[in-house]
Structure formats: C-alpha cells, structure tokens
Structure 1
Amino acid sequence: MKLIPKTNRSRLMLLLLIAALSILAYFTWKQVATPEANAGDEAAAQQLWTCPMHPQIIRSEPGFCPICHMELVLLRTPHEHDPETGEPVFTDGADPEMQAVDEGAGAGAPDPGTRNDRLLVRVEPSVIQRIGLTTEIVVKRTIAREIRAVAHVDFNETAQTIVNSRVSGWVEQLYVNYTGQLVTRGQPLAGIYSPELVSTQQEYLDLHRRLDEARAREASPVAIEDLEQLLAAARRRLALWQISEAQIRAIEQRGQVSRLLTLYSPYAGSVVEKHVVQGARITEGMDLFRIVDLSTVWAYAHIPEKDIPFVRQGLAVRLIATQLAGEEYSGQVSFIFPFIDSDSRDLKIRVSVPNPGFRLKPGMFATVVFRNQLPGEHLVIPSTAVIRTGTRDVTFVYLGNGAFEPREVTVGVDDGEGNFQIIEGLSEGEAVVVSGQFLLDSESRIQEAIRSLQSRGASGSAAGGHQH
C-alpha cells in the first residue's frame, strides 16, 4: 500500500476541519436568524391600520379611508402586554395611555368557543382625570314620573239629551230663542198645540167624569171596571205623549184640557242645537233641541308611547286652564283608549272634570298634569351613562384599577329627571361611567373591529392550510 506523504495528510486534515466548522456555523446561524426573521414577518402580518376620523375602518395594510379618503395610520404594534396581567394589549396610536385589553386573547387562552370574550378598556389614572371620566353607582328604587300634556275640553257625551216632540202640531210658544242659551233643569223650552193631544185630554176628562158618576149611583161592578180600563188606557196615551203625572193631576183638578203641551229641559246646561222657530209646524218624532249638561266636562289628552306605563284609569289629574288665568281643576282619568294613533304614535286618554259655574268651555285648550310611579323597585342609572347606537344600548362598567367593561343593557322607561330604568345588563351596586364614556366607546369599537378582522383571518388560514 502506498503511503500518503506527511505534508499532504496535514493539508487534508485542515480542509476537513474547515468544512466541519462551516457546517456548524451554518446551522448555528440558521437557528438564530430564522426566529428573528419569522418574528419580523409575524409582526408585519399583525400590523393594522385605521382611519383617525372613522375608527371602525380597520385594514391589514396601508391605504386610504373609503369614507373620508384620509391616509390610514398604524393602529397597533405587536408584542405589547398589559403591565399588570401580562395579557396582550392593542394600543391606539391616538392615545398611548388608553388600552383595550382582549380577555379572550393570549397564549394560554382557552378554545374560542369557550373563552370569556369580554373586552376591557384600561385607562391610566392621569387620563381619567384629563378626560373627565366620572362614575355613579347603580341603585334600586321606585320610579315616578310627572306627565304634562296638552288637552282640549269637550262635552260630556253621557250628559246630553235630545228634546223632541212625540205629537204633531205647531210651536205656539218658544221660551228658548237662541243656540247656546243656558237653561236650568225643569225650565220650559216650548209650548206645542196639538189637536190630537187636546182630543185625548178631553177624552180622559170625559171618562174620569163618567167613572165618578158610575161610582156615585153604585153601578154594576162590570160597568165600573170597564170605565176604569178605558180611563187607564187614556192615561197611558197621555204619558206616551210626554204628559207628566203632575200635569195629568192638574188636568183632573181643573176639569179642563190644557191647550198647549209644554216641553221642559231635563238638564241644567246649554242648548247647543235648536231646530225650530215660533209658529213652525212640527211632526211626531222631530228633534227640537239638543241640550248638554256642562256641570261635568271631558278633556282629551294625547300621551306619548314612552309615558304609557305611568297611565292608569282612575288616576288623579290636575287640569290647568291657561285661558282662565291658570285656574286649576281636579279630575281623574276616566277612560284610556284601547289603541295607539298610527299617525301621531300616542295614546289618547279622557279626563272627567267637574265644572262648577260652567267656566270650562268645550273647545278650550288646557294642560293636564299627573304624577304616577311604577309598581315595585327598579334598577336606575343616569341617562348620560347610556350610549344609544340605534341598534343597541351600551354602558361602561368600572371594574377598578383603571379597567372599564363595555356592557350591553336593556333600557326601560325614562323617569323624566335624567334617569333610565335598566331591565337587564347591570346589577345593583355596580359603577357606571356617566361622562367621558364616548372615548371608551371609540376604543372598544376599534377592538371589536380588530377581533372581527382576526376572526376572518383565522378562518382563512384554517381553510388554506395544507394536509399531510
């Protein structure tokens, strides 16, 4: 076997050593450089851009706002963590001291289907003072509301009557000469001459005289009974023609007929309709007068839908007549209409009001005022604590240590004093933000947009992944 010279053998060993060191250096560089490159790529992929004027616009690359065409600005930088919890945070470039913390994020977060997806907005104490964030406690108490509504006065429909004639004849006397005339109960309205009525009265007097004569001569019981039946029939005809018992007794006492049938007013009130003049010929059943009792009037008011829970039948009401130097009258809700006006979207109610002296006039405008409270106690917060977006109502709950949680709530009635009833979403004793919450709302909207974009990106990555 031929031996390799010593000089050549040394050169070969040197070459092998250089090759081994090169391979070692290559793998060492790959292990160090690759994570940095991957981290840089991941950071670039995680960068988001937003519009300063429209924070709901979130893009994964630079560009321009589709609404105002402003250039998008960098929204967040990667690898930031909350200093207290270590959770990832996303810093709004507009205010680096305000952070939105996603409680569902982080390496140790559970499966997205089971994690707590609450959004928390953390604010530095200096920022809380600078933007004027203030809170109030959610309390539980009764809710009362004073309601004022414009009303118009009208007639009491149950205190109206039509005076008509039940006989044909002529109006020989007219005691009420004009529409609107005030009358008292029992006041004469008109005197009517009716030949038929005069004839029936005469028939009644004749039968009454014959019955007296039959009893005087002790006629047979059958004859007396026949006369009594005929007299009763004549008496009924007179009653049907509006001849009162007092008038019939007066005819008996005088022994002569009354030429005119006098019509009397059944109510104290106003003659709102008059259809006859003196000397006019009238027919049976003809309407002569319409009289309205004004001792009680009705007032109709329209209540907005939001105030309907405070209205109930029998509720005491004050009616203020501004045209009468602010005179006040007491009444009550006598009827609530069973439907909402489709045009005005309000509820019509009727108030019954005593009207001494007939001072309240039908057609007059007035103001009705009443106060009522909902049964039981309810959660109440200031109305300024609620952000109404049109699709939902949101309030921010202060959790302490500068953390605020946006909470969707169900709002009930407004008490008219700057407070809302809360039906769902809050608990008694929690603190809600009542001023400065719009800045928190803007930050939470940015975080929601980020989450939505990440969700779409995660879905796309899962769909595009390769299978082994």
Structure 2
Amino acid sequence: MKRTHVAAAVLVAVGLAAGGFMAGQHFGAPTERVARATEQQGERKVLYWHDPMVPGPRFDKPGKSPFMDMPLVPVYADEQNETGVKVSPGVQQNLGIRTATVTRAQVASSFDAIGTVQFDERLTQAVQTRVNGYVERLRVRAPMEYVRKGQPLATIYAPDWLGPQNEYLALKRAGVSEDILAAARERMRAMSIPDELLRQSEQSGVAQARFTVTAPLSGVVAELGVRDGVAVNPGMTLFRIAGLERVWAVAEVPEAQAVRLVRGQKVKAALQADASQTFDGELKEILPQVSSNTRTVQARFEVANKGGRLTPGMLLRLQVAGPVSSRLVVPAEAVIRTGSRAVAIVRKESGTFEPREVALGADLGDQLEIAQGLNEGEQVVASGQFLVDSEARLKSVLGGMAAAGQAAPAASAPASQMKAPAARGTFTAQGKVESVEPDSITISHEPVPELKWPSMTMGFSKPNPQAFPGVKPGDSIRFEFKKGGPMGWELVTVQPAGAGK
C-alpha cells in the first residue's frame, strides 16, 4: 500500500513538472518568443533590428523600441542591398496602384498644322497680245470667273495685220515661186499673226484682222486687265489664268516642329469646315525665312484639288506624316513632370518601387517617348505614382538621417545612453565576412568602442565594385571604415585578421 502512494506521488510530480515546462514555453518572455520566431523563418538571416520611425540606431537583438511604444523590426540580409519602396499588396489595392509595361512601338513623327489655300503659281499662265489693236468684244467680264481650256475670252481687232496678209494673197494670185511665198509666211509669223488666221485668209481670199483669244488651261481668271473697246499693245497682259488642278496649302510651322520637315513628306489634308472632305498632298518647299514675331517657318504643301473644291482662302487641317521609327513608349500618365525633370516609378522584380529620372522624347498624345532611363519590358506605375514618389522621398530623407545619425547600444540600454557623438575620421574593427556583394560586404563585427557600437552584423559599402577582390564569406578580417557610401558606412581597407594595419 505504501508503494502505491509513493508511485502516485511520483506521477503527480512528473505531471506538475511537465505542466510547468509547457506553461513556461507558452508564457515566456516576449523577447525570447520573438527571437525564436525570427530564427524559424527559413534561411533568412537577420542583420540587426531597428525602429522604422527612428532608423538611425541599430540593435543586435529584438525587443521594444526605446523611442516609440512598438517592437523593433528585423532587417534581413537579403534586404540589405535592396533599394526602393515597399508597398504591401493590400495598400496597393487601396491606393489603386496600376502598372504599365514599357513597350517598343513603331511611331511616325507626325504633327498637325493649319494651312491656307493659295493658287499654285506654277500653274498660272498669262494671256498677252503682240500687236497693236483694241478689244472688240470681251467674253469674260469679271475676275475669278471659272473658264475651261479653249474657251473664248475676247475678240481682238488688229489692223496692222491687214497689210502683210494682203501682200501675201497678191503674191499667191500672181503665181510666184514657193520660195517667195514661204518668205512672206515667215514674215507674218514674225508679226505674231496666228496660223489659223492665215488659213482663214487663204480660204476666203480676204485678209483677216479679227482673232479670238482663248483660255490656255482650265481654271479661274485671277487677273482681268482689259475692258470692251480698250486699246492693246504688244506685251500687254490681257488675262491671268490660275489653274485649279492643284493648289498650295501654306502653313506656319513652329521652329520646334520645322526641324522634322523633309521635302517629299506626305500629308493628309481635310477641310477645316468639313472634316469628311479629305485631300492628298506632299511637302514641296520650306521657305527660307523665320518670322521674328511668331518664330514660325512657312511650309508650302502641294494638294491635289479633286473636283476643284478648294479655292484660295480656305483653311485646311494638315496631318504631316514623318518617317516611321521604333521607339520606347509609356503611357503619358506614368510620367511625373516637375518642370526641371521627369520621373517614372519603376516596379522592380523584388516587388519594390523605385523612382527613376527619365529623358523624354516626342509627345505622342496618350503616350510619351522615352529617350533614356527605362528599358523595354520594365513595369512603371501608371496610377498612384505620386504617393509612391512621396514615400520614396521620405525614405531617402530618413536614410540620410540614418547615415548621419548615431548608432545605438543594445535595446536594454536606457534611451539617454542611445545618443553618441558624431563619428569622424576612420575607425577600425575586427569581424567575420558573412556575404560579399558587387557593391557591399556584410560583416559580423566586434564592438566598436569609439562609436559605442555593440557586436552586430551590418553591411558596409565598397568604394568601387573592384575593391577587395580576395575577400570571401567566412574570412576573419580586420577592416577600416568611415562614414559615407550608399549604406552609410564605407570600407577603407580589408586585411586578414592578425595582419598589420
């Protein structure tokens, strides 16, 4: 019976001990629970802990922030060299952050201009007389009348042509040789007597002094220089006929766009008053003169006038097509323009967002050409980028404060002891290399009394990517460092532990 009581007592003691152990495991110190949870997070190595609101001080173990009523946050080795701003998926959804892809598109450097219709001066012909006489009958009585090719314009009476014709007819009746008759005909041609008028004289046997002036082409009478009964003399312009088969559209092009003009460029023209009526054209001339008032260049486009619907003074909207080229483009809303620079927010493969300054090319309406700063296939923020840019600026400011700030001792130290004097010059420490990156080396170092640093693991910037080529993870080293570099502290020398300085 006594043995039974002893066995029961032993079992109760074991149960109480196990219960106390489990309670201790469940109700242990917060710092220990955080440390264990941190160690169980895969292979991610914690470099140090810090307070995000006061990013300068670094701590070598977890705990509560001495500055704010919040726990310290770990910084992992795989995040040490990561730049940019992190935004959680939930916040991205709440802010409506939307991304677009940088693409390469075939773009024509086209632009619009307004042109005024004018006569094509190369199609204009003058109708003149080469004899003294007068206008016996005028068929066209007003300028800007439409005429057709061959249409009679006026009847001219030229009495000076009667003498040579009568002489020729008399020689022909006298039966003189053909050589004499040919000489007489050449004399009449020299006096500008039309061959048709001479044939009429030969057929009728009577000298003809009246002849009809006809239109040399279809168009409008741009200039009317005579009236009924007026006298005419050699070299006088009776009519000026402007052809309408083609017209000019003269446009004032700003200097910034004039540099993209090339002779031979095709143009699509539409009536300003009726966009459904379109015409095809081509750039013929760039007039060598710049207006000092408007800083524009006059460009002369030749436009086919289908059906004669275009008349001088009309306005045409010209769409000038430039050469097609392959260009990087992004949505216009994805670029933040501040006046002095243009910024795009790039989403990196790691999920962070990075502001990047870009050089802009042509404005393509809904899209902008990217001349420099982005690569094809990259993701840029097209909506909500102002919020990300503000966050990036804040992080940049806090990062600068961290680099210029003072290091802090362990989390258990009081806040009054966290402030150390500003570090100056070069400092020396010993440690072990944890990882080597192209632009930095992560070192677990011993305390640095000059800076009141405890033992911790942190990253140091390299002065250049080629520095310290022989250093590899696991090496025990003695190193010198100074304030500076992208990570706040920059290596000066790195030597194997035990070697002289």
TM-score, with length taken from structure 2: 0.57
2:374 to 406, 426, 443: 426
Specify the SS of the correspondent of 1:249.
helix
**Structure 1 CA distance for aligned equivalents of residues 165 and 210 of structure 2:** 11
Shift of 1:135: 1.2
2:383 to 435, 456, 467: 435
Amino acid at match of 1:257: A
**Structure 1 CA distance for aligned equivalents of residues 259 and 240 of structure 2:** 36
Amino acid at match of 1:397: V
Q: CA RMSD in A?
A: 4.1
1:312-360 CA-partner distances (Å, limit 9, x unpaired): 735262523636xx5524322242526665615476351412231x333
Residue 333 (structure 2) pairs with residue 384 (structure 1): yes
Residue 189 (structure 2) pairs with residue 236 (structure 1): yes
Amino acid at match of 2:56: H
Match of 2:176 in 1: 214
Residues 189 and 195, structure 2, Cα contact 8 Å, conserved in 1? no
Gaps of 5+ in 2: 1-51, 61-69, 406-423, 426-501
**Structure 1 CA distance for aligned equivalents of residues 219 and 131 of structure 2:** 25
Residue 279 (structure 2) pairs with residue 330 (structure 1): yes
Amino acid at match of 2:341: R
Residue 273 (structure 2) pairs with residue 352 (structure 1): no
2:363 to 397, 402, 414: 414
Task: Give the 5 Å matches for 1:295-314.
Answer: 295-302=245-252, 305=256, 313=264
| Higher helix content, 1 or 2 | 1
Match of 1:258 in 2: 208
Amino acid at match of 1:183: V
**Structure 1 CA distance for aligned equivalents of residues 168 and 396 of structure 2:** 98
1:79 to 45, 51, 56: 56
**Structure 1 CA distance for aligned equivalents of residues 200 and 128 of structure 2:** 23
Residues 250 and 298, structure 2, Cα contact 8 Å, conserved in 1? no
Q: Cα distance 1:246–1:327, how it changes in 2: closer, same or farther (>3 A)? A: farther
**Structure 2 CA distance for aligned equivalents of residues 420 and 270 of structure 1:** 47
User: Sequence identity, in percent?
Assistant: 33
Q: Cα distance 1:362–1:82, how it changes in 2: closer, same or farther (>3 A)? A: farther
**Structure 2 CA distance for aligned equivalents of residues 349 and 396 of structure 1:** 43
Match of 1:138 in 2: 102
Shift of 1:120: 2.8
Match of 2:268 in 1: 317
Task: Give the 5 Å matches for 1:387-402.
Answer: 387-402=336-351
Specify the SS of the correspondent of 1:362.
coil
Match of 2:126 in 1: 162
Shift of 1:206: 3.8
Specify the SS of the correspondent of 2:104.
strand
Q: Cα distance 1:82–1:195, how it changes in 2: closer, same or farther (>3 A)? A: farther
Specify the SS of the correspondent of 2:86.
strand
1:17-72 CA-partner distances (Å, limit 9, x unpaired): xxxxxxxxxxxxxxxxxxxxxxxxxxxxxxxxxxxxxxxxxxxxxxxxxxxxxxxx
Gaps of 5+ in 1: 1-74, 84-95, 110-117, 216-223, 463-468
Shift of 1:266: 0.5
Residue 231 (structure 2) pairs with residue 281 (structure 1): yes
TM-score, with length taken from structure 1: 0.61
Residues 267 and 283, structure 2, Cα contact 8 Å, conserved in 1? no
Between the two proteins, the alignment pairs up a number of residues equal to 339
**Structure 1 CA distance for aligned equivalents of residues 324 and 149 of structure 2:** 45
Residue 246 (structure 2) pairs with residue 293 (structure 1): no
**Higher RCO (C-alpha 8 Å, min separation 6):** 1
Specify the SS of the correspondent of 2:143.
coil
Shift of 1:306: 5.4
Amino acid at match of 1:428: E
Specify the SS of the correspondent of 1:234.
helix
Match of 1:267 in 2: 217
Residues 316 and 332, structure 1, Cα contact 8 Å, conserved in 2? yes
Residues 287 and 300, structure 2, Cα contact 8 Å, conserved in 1? no
Q: Cα distance 1:456–1:153, how it changes in 2: closer, same or farther (>3 A)? A: farther
